Protein backbone atom coordinates (compact mmCIF):
# COMPACT_ATOMS: atom_id res chain seq x y z
CA UNK A 1 0.00 0.00 0.00
CA UNK A 2 1.20 3.49 -0.79
CA UNK A 3 0.25 6.66 0.97
CA UNK A 4 -3.26 7.46 -0.13
CA UNK A 5 -3.52 10.69 -2.02
CA UNK A 6 -6.00 13.24 -0.86
CA UNK A 7 -8.97 14.28 -2.96
CA UNK A 8 -8.10 17.84 -2.04
CA UNK A 9 -4.61 17.67 -3.53
CA UNK A 10 -3.85 20.46 -5.91
CA UNK A 11 -0.58 21.22 -7.69
CA UNK A 12 0.09 24.15 -5.35
CA UNK A 13 -0.24 22.11 -2.14
CA UNK A 14 2.77 20.19 -1.01
CA UNK A 15 1.76 16.69 -0.09
CA UNK A 16 2.14 16.34 3.66
CA UNK A 17 2.26 12.94 5.34
CA UNK A 18 -0.94 13.29 7.39
CA UNK A 19 -2.95 13.86 4.24
CA UNK A 20 -2.80 10.25 3.20
CA UNK A 21 -1.36 8.32 6.12
CA UNK A 22 -2.43 4.93 7.34
CA UNK A 23 -1.85 4.95 11.08
CA UNK A 24 -1.55 1.73 13.06
CA UNK A 25 -2.84 2.22 16.61
CA UNK A 26 -0.83 0.25 19.15
CA UNK A 27 -2.07 -0.49 22.65
CA UNK A 28 1.40 -1.06 24.16
CA UNK A 29 0.29 -3.57 26.81
CA UNK A 30 -1.07 -5.86 24.15
CA UNK A 31 1.04 -5.89 20.99
CA UNK A 32 4.09 -7.93 21.99
CA UNK A 33 5.78 -8.88 25.25
CA UNK A 34 9.59 -9.06 25.09
CA UNK A 35 10.53 -10.11 28.64
CA UNK A 36 8.03 -12.81 29.56
CA UNK A 37 6.02 -10.86 32.15
CA UNK A 38 2.85 -11.19 30.07
CA UNK A 39 2.57 -7.46 29.36
CA UNK A 40 3.49 -5.88 26.04
CA UNK A 41 6.36 -3.38 25.99
CA UNK A 42 8.45 -1.07 23.79
CA UNK A 43 11.03 -3.70 22.84
CA UNK A 44 8.12 -5.90 21.82
CA UNK A 45 6.83 -3.15 19.55
CA UNK A 46 10.30 -2.67 18.03
CA UNK A 47 10.46 -6.39 17.25
CA UNK A 48 7.18 -6.11 15.29
CA UNK A 49 8.02 -3.02 13.23
CA UNK A 50 8.83 -5.10 10.14
CA UNK A 51 5.37 -6.65 10.33
CA UNK A 52 3.79 -3.22 10.78
CA UNK A 53 5.77 -1.92 7.82
CA UNK A 54 4.64 -4.90 5.75
CA UNK A 55 1.03 -3.77 6.20
CA UNK A 56 1.86 -0.61 4.27
CA UNK A 57 1.47 1.57 7.30
CA UNK A 58 2.89 5.12 7.28
CA UNK A 59 2.66 5.91 10.99
CA UNK A 60 1.98 4.41 14.39
CA UNK A 61 0.12 5.89 17.34
CA UNK A 62 1.03 4.52 20.76
CA UNK A 63 -1.46 4.67 23.62
CA UNK A 64 0.24 5.91 26.83
CA UNK A 65 3.46 4.26 28.03
CA UNK A 66 4.29 6.86 30.71
CA UNK A 67 4.88 6.11 34.40
CA UNK A 68 1.48 5.42 35.88
CA UNK A 69 -0.18 3.56 38.74
CA UNK A 70 -2.38 2.12 35.95
CA UNK A 71 -5.70 3.02 37.53
CA UNK A 72 -6.82 3.66 33.93
CA UNK A 73 -4.03 1.65 32.28
CA UNK A 74 -1.77 4.56 31.54
CA UNK A 75 -4.36 7.28 30.91
CA UNK A 76 -3.58 8.24 34.51
CA UNK A 77 -0.14 9.76 33.95
CA UNK A 78 2.14 10.20 36.96
CA UNK A 79 5.09 11.61 34.97
CA UNK A 80 4.63 13.02 31.47
CA UNK A 81 8.24 12.84 30.29
CA UNK A 82 9.35 9.30 30.99
CA UNK A 83 8.53 5.65 30.33
CA UNK A 84 6.92 3.28 32.84
CA UNK A 85 9.30 0.41 33.74
CA UNK A 86 6.57 -2.02 32.66
CA UNK A 87 7.12 -0.79 29.11
CA UNK A 88 10.88 -0.18 29.25
CA UNK A 89 13.02 2.93 29.42
CA UNK A 90 13.39 6.24 27.66
CA UNK A 91 16.30 4.69 25.75
CA UNK A 92 13.96 1.98 24.48
CA UNK A 93 11.65 4.72 23.26
CA UNK A 94 14.53 6.49 21.50
CA UNK A 95 15.46 3.20 19.87
CA UNK A 96 11.84 2.76 18.79
CA UNK A 97 11.94 6.20 17.14
CA UNK A 98 15.15 5.30 15.32
CA UNK A 99 13.91 1.93 14.15
CA UNK A 100 10.61 3.41 13.01
CA UNK A 101 12.52 6.16 11.21
CA UNK A 102 14.63 3.60 9.33
CA UNK A 103 11.42 2.08 8.04
CA UNK A 104 9.92 5.44 7.16
CA UNK A 105 7.22 5.08 9.81
CA UNK A 106 6.13 8.25 11.63
CA UNK A 107 5.50 8.04 15.37
CA UNK A 108 2.54 9.70 17.09
CA UNK A 109 2.14 9.44 20.84
CA UNK A 110 -0.78 9.94 23.19
CA UNK A 111 -0.97 13.25 25.02
CA UNK A 112 -3.32 13.35 28.02
CA UNK A 113 -3.90 17.01 28.88
CA UNK A 114 -7.26 16.92 30.68
CA UNK A 115 -6.08 15.16 33.81
CA UNK A 116 -3.16 13.45 35.52
CA UNK A 117 -2.81 10.61 37.97
CA UNK A 118 -3.43 11.42 41.62
CA UNK A 119 0.19 10.28 42.03
CA UNK A 120 1.55 13.01 39.75
CA UNK A 121 3.83 15.32 41.80
CA UNK A 122 1.72 18.32 40.68
CA UNK A 123 -1.37 16.81 42.27
CA UNK A 124 0.39 15.59 45.39
CA UNK A 125 1.51 19.18 46.02
CA UNK A 126 -1.80 20.69 44.97
CA UNK A 127 -3.73 18.53 47.43
CA UNK A 128 -1.59 19.56 50.39
CA UNK A 129 -2.80 23.11 50.91
CA UNK A 130 -4.50 26.09 49.31
CA UNK A 131 -1.26 28.01 49.02
CA UNK A 132 1.53 26.25 47.27
CA UNK A 133 2.96 26.51 43.76
CA UNK A 134 0.51 23.94 42.43
CA UNK A 135 -2.53 24.95 44.51
CA UNK A 136 -4.41 26.20 41.46
CA UNK A 137 -3.29 23.57 38.95
CA UNK A 138 -6.35 21.37 39.47
CA UNK A 139 -10.06 22.16 39.75
CA UNK A 140 -10.78 22.78 43.41
CA UNK A 141 -14.14 23.98 44.69
CA UNK A 142 -15.55 24.75 48.10
CA UNK A 143 -18.26 22.44 49.41
CA UNK A 144 -21.93 23.25 49.61
CA UNK A 145 -23.75 22.78 52.90
CA UNK A 146 -27.38 21.91 53.30
CA UNK A 147 -29.22 24.22 55.66
CA UNK A 148 -28.49 23.37 59.25
CA UNK A 149 -25.84 20.80 58.32
CA UNK A 150 -22.09 20.90 58.61
CA UNK A 151 -21.58 17.91 56.32
CA UNK A 152 -19.76 19.03 53.16
CA UNK A 153 -21.58 18.32 49.90
CA UNK A 154 -20.15 18.42 46.33
CA UNK A 155 -20.34 21.86 44.70
CA UNK A 156 -22.64 20.67 41.89
CA UNK A 157 -24.26 17.57 40.38
CA UNK A 158 -21.57 16.65 37.83
CA UNK A 159 -20.95 12.93 37.50
CA UNK A 160 -17.91 11.01 36.31
CA UNK A 161 -17.59 9.07 33.06
CA UNK A 162 -16.74 5.71 34.56
CA UNK A 163 -19.22 5.08 37.36
CA UNK A 164 -21.74 7.89 36.91
CA UNK A 165 -21.23 8.92 40.53
CA UNK A 166 -20.27 12.38 41.78
CA UNK A 167 -17.26 13.70 39.85
CA UNK A 168 -16.05 15.45 43.03
CA UNK A 169 -13.76 14.05 45.68
CA UNK A 170 -13.35 15.58 49.15
CA UNK A 171 -9.83 16.34 50.43
CA UNK A 172 -9.77 17.11 54.16
CA UNK A 173 -6.38 18.88 54.03
CA UNK A 174 -7.85 21.59 51.77
CA UNK A 175 -11.45 21.34 52.98
CA UNK A 176 -12.31 21.33 49.28
CA UNK A 177 -13.36 19.00 46.51
CA UNK A 178 -11.39 18.25 43.37
CA UNK A 179 -13.00 17.38 40.06
CA UNK A 180 -12.39 14.07 38.31
CA UNK A 181 -14.18 13.62 34.99
CA UNK A 182 -12.93 10.03 34.81
CA UNK A 183 -11.69 7.84 37.66
CA UNK A 184 -11.32 9.28 41.15
CA UNK A 185 -7.59 8.72 40.61
CA UNK A 186 -7.59 11.04 37.55
CA UNK A 187 -7.95 14.63 38.85
CA UNK A 188 -8.75 17.20 36.11
CA UNK A 189 -6.12 19.85 35.42
CA UNK A 190 -7.20 23.48 35.57
CA UNK A 191 -6.85 24.68 31.98
CA UNK A 192 -7.86 28.22 32.87
CA UNK A 193 -4.45 28.47 34.57
CA UNK A 194 -1.79 29.65 32.06
CA UNK A 195 0.91 27.81 34.03
CA UNK A 196 -0.86 24.52 33.38
CA UNK A 197 -1.11 25.28 29.68
CA UNK A 198 2.59 26.11 29.51
CA UNK A 199 3.50 22.95 31.44
CA UNK A 200 1.63 20.77 28.93
CA UNK A 201 3.28 22.61 26.05
CA UNK A 202 6.64 21.83 27.68
CA UNK A 203 5.64 18.17 27.69
CA UNK A 204 4.98 18.44 23.95
CA UNK A 205 8.37 20.11 23.43
CA UNK A 206 10.11 17.33 25.36
CA UNK A 207 8.76 14.63 23.04
CA UNK A 208 9.13 16.73 19.89
CA UNK A 209 12.80 17.26 20.75
CA UNK A 210 13.21 13.50 20.91
CA UNK A 211 11.74 13.30 17.43
CA UNK A 212 8.08 12.30 17.60
CA UNK A 213 5.98 13.38 14.62
CA UNK A 214 2.79 14.28 16.41
CA UNK A 215 0.19 13.50 19.01
CA UNK A 216 -3.16 11.90 19.51
CA UNK A 217 -4.69 14.16 22.13
CA UNK A 218 -6.93 12.57 24.72
CA UNK A 219 -10.37 13.70 25.85
CA UNK A 220 -10.03 17.33 24.76
CA UNK A 221 -13.76 18.05 24.88
CA UNK A 222 -13.65 17.91 28.68
CA UNK A 223 -11.06 20.67 28.93
CA UNK A 224 -13.69 23.41 28.55
CA UNK A 225 -16.04 23.60 31.55
CA UNK A 226 -18.57 26.13 32.74
CA UNK A 227 -16.50 28.59 34.83
CA UNK A 228 -19.56 29.08 37.08
CA UNK A 229 -19.85 25.31 37.66
CA UNK A 230 -23.59 25.25 37.06
CA UNK A 231 -25.37 21.91 37.35
CA UNK A 232 -25.75 19.67 34.31
CA UNK A 233 -29.34 19.04 33.24
CA UNK A 234 -30.98 15.63 33.31
CA UNK A 235 -30.71 13.60 30.13
CA UNK A 236 -34.34 13.05 29.10
CA UNK A 237 -33.45 9.85 27.23
CA UNK A 238 -31.75 8.22 30.20
CA UNK A 239 -33.50 5.21 31.68
CA UNK A 240 -32.31 4.04 35.05
CA UNK A 241 -31.43 0.37 35.13
CA UNK A 242 -31.11 0.21 31.34
CA UNK A 243 -28.54 2.89 30.53
CA UNK A 244 -25.01 3.48 31.65
CA UNK A 245 -25.25 5.75 34.73
CA UNK A 246 -22.64 8.11 33.31
CA UNK A 247 -25.28 9.11 30.73
CA UNK A 248 -27.80 10.30 33.32
CA UNK A 249 -26.92 13.96 32.68
CA UNK A 250 -26.52 15.93 29.47
CA UNK A 251 -23.07 17.33 30.32
CA UNK A 252 -23.67 20.70 28.73
CA UNK A 253 -21.78 22.40 31.55
CA UNK A 254 -19.15 19.84 32.48
CA UNK A 255 -17.70 19.63 28.95
CA UNK A 256 -17.52 21.24 25.53
CA UNK A 257 -17.37 24.92 26.52
CA UNK A 258 -15.88 26.90 23.62
CA UNK A 259 -12.56 27.56 25.37
CA UNK A 260 -11.73 23.96 24.33
CA UNK A 261 -10.93 25.28 20.87
CA UNK A 262 -8.59 27.97 22.18
CA UNK A 263 -6.76 25.46 24.36
CA UNK A 264 -6.25 22.99 21.50
CA UNK A 265 -5.17 25.80 19.20
CA UNK A 266 -2.66 27.00 21.78
CA UNK A 267 -1.20 23.50 22.04
CA UNK A 268 -0.96 23.14 18.28
CA UNK A 269 0.87 26.47 17.95
CA UNK A 270 3.88 24.79 19.56
CA UNK A 271 4.35 23.21 16.11
CA UNK A 272 4.95 26.69 14.69
CA UNK A 273 7.81 27.49 17.02
CA UNK A 274 11.15 28.04 15.23
CA UNK A 275 12.59 24.70 16.22
CA UNK A 276 9.68 22.75 14.79
CA UNK A 277 8.22 24.83 12.04
CA UNK A 278 9.96 23.01 9.20
CA UNK A 279 8.85 19.60 10.38
CA UNK A 280 5.49 18.18 9.37
CA UNK A 281 4.01 17.84 12.84
CA UNK A 282 0.38 16.98 13.34
CA UNK A 283 -2.15 16.25 16.04
CA UNK A 284 -5.44 14.43 16.00
CA UNK A 285 -7.79 15.18 18.86
CA UNK A 286 -10.22 12.84 20.51
CA UNK A 287 -13.72 14.25 20.52
CA UNK A 288 -16.95 12.41 19.96
CA UNK A 289 -19.36 14.25 17.68
CA UNK A 290 -22.73 15.53 18.66
CA UNK A 291 -25.19 12.94 17.40
CA UNK A 292 -27.61 15.55 16.12
CA UNK A 293 -25.20 17.59 14.07
CA UNK A 294 -21.96 15.74 13.80
CA UNK A 295 -20.58 17.70 10.85
CA UNK A 296 -20.98 20.99 12.72
CA UNK A 297 -19.13 19.56 15.71
CA UNK A 298 -16.20 18.46 13.50
CA UNK A 299 -16.16 21.79 11.69
CA UNK A 300 -15.94 23.67 14.99
CA UNK A 301 -12.42 22.23 15.34
CA UNK A 302 -11.29 22.83 11.76
CA UNK A 303 -12.38 26.46 11.72
CA UNK A 304 -10.95 27.28 15.16
CA UNK A 305 -7.39 26.23 14.42
CA UNK A 306 -4.89 25.74 11.62
CA UNK A 307 -6.13 22.66 9.73
CA UNK A 308 -2.57 21.99 8.59
CA UNK A 309 -1.73 21.18 12.21
CA UNK A 310 -4.85 19.68 13.80
CA UNK A 311 -7.81 17.50 12.94
CA UNK A 312 -10.58 16.04 15.08
CA UNK A 313 -11.08 12.31 14.80
CA UNK A 314 -13.94 11.56 12.45
CA UNK A 315 -15.87 8.89 14.32
CA UNK A 316 -18.53 8.58 11.64
CA UNK A 317 -17.49 4.95 11.47
CA UNK A 318 -19.01 4.29 14.84
CA UNK A 319 -22.04 6.56 14.85
CA UNK A 320 -23.36 6.32 11.30
CA UNK A 321 -25.48 3.18 10.73
CA UNK A 322 -23.83 0.64 8.41
CA UNK A 323 -26.07 1.47 5.45
CA UNK A 324 -24.79 2.73 2.11
CA UNK A 325 -27.24 5.62 1.83
CA UNK A 326 -26.51 6.79 5.39
CA UNK A 327 -22.80 6.77 4.67
CA UNK A 328 -23.20 8.55 1.36
CA UNK A 329 -25.16 11.32 3.03
CA UNK A 330 -22.69 11.60 5.91
CA UNK A 331 -19.54 11.59 3.74
CA UNK A 332 -20.97 14.05 1.28
CA UNK A 333 -21.92 16.54 3.98
CA UNK A 334 -18.62 16.14 5.80
CA UNK A 335 -16.35 16.49 2.76
CA UNK A 336 -18.38 19.28 1.23
CA UNK A 337 -18.00 21.21 4.48
CA UNK A 338 -14.26 20.61 4.88
CA UNK A 339 -13.42 21.17 1.20
CA UNK A 340 -15.44 24.33 1.18
CA UNK A 341 -13.60 25.61 4.22
CA UNK A 342 -10.00 24.80 3.25
CA UNK A 343 -8.11 22.37 1.03
CA UNK A 344 -5.83 21.75 4.01
CA UNK A 345 -8.45 20.03 6.18
CA UNK A 346 -7.36 16.45 6.89
CA UNK A 347 -10.12 13.95 7.57
CA UNK A 348 -9.05 11.44 10.23
CA UNK A 349 -11.11 8.30 10.17
CA UNK A 350 -11.09 5.60 12.84
CA UNK A 351 -13.54 2.71 12.91
CA UNK A 352 -12.35 1.31 16.22
CA UNK A 353 -10.00 1.93 19.12
CA UNK A 354 -9.12 0.80 22.64
CA UNK A 355 -12.43 2.13 24.00
CA UNK A 356 -14.86 0.75 21.43
CA UNK A 357 -16.14 -2.71 20.53
CA UNK A 358 -14.13 -4.49 17.85
CA UNK A 359 -15.21 -3.47 14.35
CA UNK A 360 -16.10 -6.98 13.28
CA UNK A 361 -18.49 -7.48 16.20
CA UNK A 362 -20.05 -4.08 15.80
CA UNK A 363 -20.80 -4.32 12.08
CA UNK A 364 -21.82 -7.93 12.21
CA UNK A 365 -20.66 -10.46 9.73
CA UNK A 366 -17.18 -10.69 8.34
CA UNK A 367 -17.97 -9.62 4.79
CA UNK A 368 -19.19 -6.28 6.14
CA UNK A 369 -15.98 -5.87 8.13
CA UNK A 370 -13.99 -6.44 4.92
CA UNK A 371 -15.92 -3.78 3.06
CA UNK A 372 -15.46 -1.47 6.05
CA UNK A 373 -11.71 -1.99 5.73
CA UNK A 374 -11.86 -1.11 2.03
CA UNK A 375 -13.88 1.97 2.83
CA UNK A 376 -11.50 3.07 5.58
CA UNK A 377 -8.45 2.66 3.35
CA UNK A 378 -9.91 4.49 0.38
CA UNK A 379 -11.48 7.48 2.10
CA UNK A 380 -9.38 10.62 1.71
CA UNK A 381 -7.29 11.67 4.71
CA UNK A 382 -5.84 9.63 7.55
CA UNK A 383 -7.01 6.11 8.36
CA UNK A 384 -6.46 4.76 11.86
CA UNK A 385 -6.35 0.98 12.21
CA UNK A 386 -6.52 -0.45 15.70
CA UNK A 387 -4.08 -3.35 16.21
CA UNK A 388 -5.68 -6.67 15.36
CA UNK A 389 -8.34 -5.15 13.11
CA UNK A 390 -6.23 -6.25 10.15
CA UNK A 391 -6.79 -9.90 11.11
CA UNK A 392 -10.38 -9.39 12.24
CA UNK A 393 -9.83 -9.80 15.98
CA UNK A 394 -13.08 -10.16 17.91
CA UNK A 395 -14.21 -8.89 21.31
CA UNK A 396 -12.91 -11.46 23.77
CA UNK A 397 -15.02 -12.73 26.66
CA UNK A 398 -13.36 -11.72 29.91
CA UNK A 399 -14.23 -13.85 32.94
CA UNK A 400 -15.14 -11.64 35.93
CA UNK A 401 -11.95 -12.52 37.82
CA UNK A 402 -9.82 -11.10 34.96
CA UNK A 403 -11.61 -7.77 34.61
CA UNK A 404 -9.10 -4.88 34.77
CA UNK A 405 -10.87 -1.87 33.27
CA UNK A 406 -11.97 0.69 35.90
CA UNK A 407 -14.99 1.50 33.76
CA UNK A 408 -16.16 -2.10 34.05
CA UNK A 409 -15.46 -2.38 37.73
CA UNK A 410 -17.67 0.58 38.54
CA UNK A 411 -20.35 0.13 35.96
CA UNK A 412 -22.92 -2.66 36.15
CA UNK A 413 -23.96 -2.03 32.54
CA UNK A 414 -20.51 -2.70 31.16
CA UNK A 415 -19.62 -5.99 32.84
CA UNK A 416 -16.34 -6.39 30.94
CA UNK A 417 -15.88 -2.73 29.97
CA UNK A 418 -13.11 -2.18 27.45
CA UNK A 419 -10.98 -5.21 28.29
CA UNK A 420 -12.54 -7.34 25.49
CA UNK A 421 -10.88 -5.09 22.87
CA UNK A 422 -7.50 -4.92 24.60
CA UNK A 423 -6.47 -8.58 24.56
CA UNK A 424 -3.05 -9.76 23.36
CA UNK A 425 -2.32 -9.64 19.66
CA UNK A 426 -2.71 -13.01 17.95
CA UNK A 427 0.54 -13.65 16.10
CA UNK A 428 0.73 -17.41 15.64
CA UNK A 429 -0.51 -20.83 16.74
CA UNK A 430 2.20 -21.03 19.42
CA UNK A 431 1.51 -20.88 23.13
CA UNK A 432 -0.18 -17.56 23.95
CA UNK A 433 -0.30 -16.83 20.25
CA UNK A 434 3.36 -15.80 20.16
CA UNK A 435 2.53 -12.77 22.31
CA UNK A 436 4.72 -13.84 25.23
CA UNK A 437 7.16 -16.56 26.17
CA UNK A 438 6.06 -16.28 29.80
CA UNK A 439 3.41 -18.22 31.71
CA UNK A 440 0.69 -15.65 31.76
CA UNK A 441 -0.84 -12.79 29.81
CA UNK A 442 -2.29 -9.67 31.43
CA UNK A 443 -5.64 -10.32 29.75
CA UNK A 444 -6.72 -13.72 28.41
CA UNK A 445 -6.00 -14.60 24.78
CA UNK A 446 -8.96 -14.98 22.45
CA UNK A 447 -10.17 -18.60 22.42
CA UNK A 448 -9.89 -18.69 18.61
CA UNK A 449 -6.29 -17.46 18.41
CA UNK A 450 -5.07 -20.74 16.85
CA UNK A 451 -7.37 -20.23 13.86
CA UNK A 452 -7.17 -16.50 13.66
CA UNK A 453 -3.65 -15.12 13.78
CA UNK A 454 -1.09 -13.31 11.66
CA UNK A 455 0.87 -16.45 10.69
CA UNK A 456 -2.24 -18.27 9.46
CA UNK A 457 -3.51 -15.25 7.54
CA UNK A 458 -0.16 -14.58 5.93
CA UNK A 459 -0.37 -18.03 4.34
CA UNK A 460 -3.96 -17.50 3.21
C1 LIG B 1 -10.02 8.74 26.52
C2 LIG B 1 -9.24 7.46 26.34
C3 LIG B 1 -9.74 6.45 27.33
C4 LIG B 1 -9.47 6.99 28.73
C5 LIG B 1 -10.09 8.37 28.90
C6 LIG B 1 -9.52 9.04 30.10
O7 LIG B 1 -11.35 8.62 26.19
O8 LIG B 1 -9.35 7.02 25.02
O9 LIG B 1 -9.13 5.20 27.17
O10 LIG B 1 -10.00 6.11 29.69
O11 LIG B 1 -9.83 9.23 27.82
O12 LIG B 1 -8.18 9.40 29.85
CA1 LIG C 1 6.80 -7.15 29.09
If DSSP codes are grouped into helix, strand and coil, which group holds residue 333? helix
Per-residue pLDDT of 71-96, as tens digits, reads 999 999 999 999 999 999 999 999 99
- d(C-alpha 75, C-alpha 69), whole Å: 10
Under 8 Å CB-to-CB from 172, ≥6 apart: which residues? none
**In angstroms, what is the span from residue 425 Cα to ligand 2's centroid?**
13
Angle between helices 194-210 and 259-268 (to 10 degrees): 30
Look up the pTM and report it: 0.95
Interstrand relation of 176-179 and 140-141 (parallel, antiparallel or unpaired): antiparallel
Task: Check residue 14 and give its pLDDT.
Answer: 47
* Ligand 1 first shell, C-beta below 6 A: 72, 75, 112, 182, 218-219, 286, 354-355
The preferred substitution site among 114, 116, 219 for testing ligand 1, maximizing ligand atoms within 8 Å of CB, is 219
pLDDT at residue 300 tops 80: yes
CA 343 to chain centre: 26
What confidence category does residue 460 fall into, taking pLDDT thresholds of 50, 70 and 90?
A: confident
Which atom from ligand 1 is nearest to the alpha carbon of 75?
12
% of the chain beyond a pLDDT of 90: 86
Which atom from ligand 1 is nearest to the alpha carbon of 115?
12
Write the DSSP symbol of residue 8. T
Per-residue pLDDT of 268-299, as tens digits, reads 999 999 999 999 999 999 998 877 789 999 99
What confidence category does residue 2 fall into, taking pLDDT thresholds of 50, 70 and 90?
A: very low
Find the helix or strand (DSSP H, E) in which 297 lies. Answer: helix 294-304
Average pLDDT over residues 47-72: 98
Beta bridge partners of 337: none
Active site residue 147: no
Average pLDDT over residues 98-119: 98
Amino acid sequence: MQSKSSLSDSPTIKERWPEGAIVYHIYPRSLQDSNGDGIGDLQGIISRLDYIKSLGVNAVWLSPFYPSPMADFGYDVAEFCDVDPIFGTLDDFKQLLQEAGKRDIKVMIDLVPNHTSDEHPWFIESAKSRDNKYADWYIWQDPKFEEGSSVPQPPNNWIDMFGGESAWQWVPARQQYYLHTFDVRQPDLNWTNPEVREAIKDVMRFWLDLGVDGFRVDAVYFMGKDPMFDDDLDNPYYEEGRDDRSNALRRENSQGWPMVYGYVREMSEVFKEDKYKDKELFMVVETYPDRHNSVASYMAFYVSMDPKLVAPFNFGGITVPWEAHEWRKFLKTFHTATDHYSPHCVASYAFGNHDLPRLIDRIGHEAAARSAAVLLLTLPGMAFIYYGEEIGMHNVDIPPEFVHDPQAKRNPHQPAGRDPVRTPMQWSTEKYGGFTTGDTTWLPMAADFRDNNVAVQEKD
